[in-house]
Amino acid sequence: MTDYLDAVIVEHNPSQKTIDRAVIWLHGLGASGHDFEPVVPQLGLADDMAVRFIFPHAPNRPVTINGGMVMPAWYDILEMSLERKVDISQIEQSSQKIHDLISREIERGVAPEHIVIAGFSQGGAVAYHAALGYPERLAGLMTLSTYLATNDHIVFSAANKDLPILIEHGTQDPVVPVVLGEQAQQLLSAKGYNVQYNTYPMAHQVCMPQIQNIGKWLNKVLA
């Protein structure tokens, strides 16, 4: 029996029609699935779409850069250098947990090509790994204020070669420097991916113009 991650569930338009779209959205280090829950009503999603948002909670684990303190984390960060020395095996384990959530949505009647994988900061690094290596075509990949930690470890899926990717970053981010968002965009564009890259004059956070843009992108890729 699969042991699924606990998650916050928010449904857009559940009474209108059968839910046939899904967004699996991962939070950042030390946060929880409740982090992006308030964003859903602000996205301006189309009235004729029924979408299930799944905001999973990361497991608690010791984090080396925080003195070994136990906190919600998708993986251990060993060093805060620009290159980000991280526990690759834990990213792979967390990615598998996201694949399990995708499988559960498919069992509920949501086709994989109607599922978006999203993540903020640490959650974004896992989202990259989970979506780019997923064996069936997905609707899209959205990564916010994050970095591509596993470029040399992903088995890139041919099914998602033309996956729409939205990368968004704050130009004043002191936690994940904007250059890491640029690097991800350049790496994936060089591989032929369809990447949309946007920046905002903000720190390690989200802002209202960005939320509105995310809503437009979701309306497009989930249409």
Of 35, 76, 87, 173, which is the active-site residue? 173
DSSP 3-state of 62: strand
Active-site residue, selected from the candidate residues 94, 121, 129, 145: 121
Q: What is the DSSP letter of 111?
A: -
Size of the chain in residues: 223
Catalytic entry in 20, 57, 157, 204: 204
At a CB cut-off of 8 Å and minimum separation 6, what does 56 contact? 5, 6, 7, 24, 26, 33, 97, 98, 101
Instruction: At 63, give phi and psi (nearest 5°).
Output: -120, 115
Residues 6 or more apart whose Cβ sits within 8 Å of residue 79: 64, 65, 85
Beta bridge partners of 200: 170
Orientation angle between helical segments 122-132 and 88-107, nearest 10 degrees: 60
- Whether residue 204 lies in the annotated active site: yes
Give the separation between CA 34 and CA 44, rounded to whole angstroms.
Answer: 19
Would you say 117 and 142 are in contact if contact means Cβ atoms under 8 Å apart? yes
Structure tokens at 9: 């569930």
Listed residue (163, 165, 176) closest to 202, CA to CA = 176
Residues marked active site are found at 121, 173, 204
